[in-house]
Amino acid sequence: DSGVTQTPKHLITATGQRVTLRCSPRSGDLSVYWYQQSLDQGLQFLIQYYNGEERAKGNILERFSAQQFPDLHSELNLSSLELGDSALYFCASSVEDRAMDIQYFGAGTRLSVL
């Protein structure tokens, strides 16, 4: 158990809908990262938050947004969902945001858009 909690584990929804994925980082970790894993794109970095503030953005669509709350949990919001958004979404956390900091991953949320 990595200590990173993601809910829900599975999500099935329809095109055009909006969903929220939730992540609780390991106790004491300040950085939260979101990654998307799909068959065609592999593992892609979406966005990072550090202590409540956005730190880095990757290949995140405009339909997607995220935030980190004062208790350091994070949410990833996906709206106007398309079939191609079906993927495994991971949250990871690390103590700080240095190159040597290990990112521990949650078990992922598997999103299926029908």
Contact residues for other proteins (CB under 8 A)? Answer: 2, 31, 33, 35, 42-43, 45, 48, 55-56, 58, 88, 90, 92, 97-108, 110
Write down the least CB distance from residue 98 to other proteins, Å: 7
For other proteins, the closer CB: 80 or 93: 93
Write down the least CB distance from residue 17 to other proteins, Å: 23
Q: What is the greatest pairwise CA distance in the chain?
A: 40
For other proteins, the closer CB: 1 or 71: 1
Q: What is the CA radius of gyration of the chain?
A: 13
Q: What is the DSSP string of 23-60?
A: EEPPTT--EEEEEEEETTTEEEEEEEEETTEEEEE-S-
Write down the least CB distance from residue 87 to other proteins, Å: 11
Write down the least CB distance from residue 94 to other proteins, Å: 9
For other proteins, the closer CB: 80 or 112: 112
Instruction: Determine contact, residues 105/5, Cβ cutoff 8 Å.
Output: no
For other proteins, the closer CB: 37 or 65: 37
Q: Hey, CA dihedral for 34, 36, 41, 42, is it positive or negative?
A: positive
Cα-based angle 59, 111, 76 (whole degrees, multiple of 5) = 50
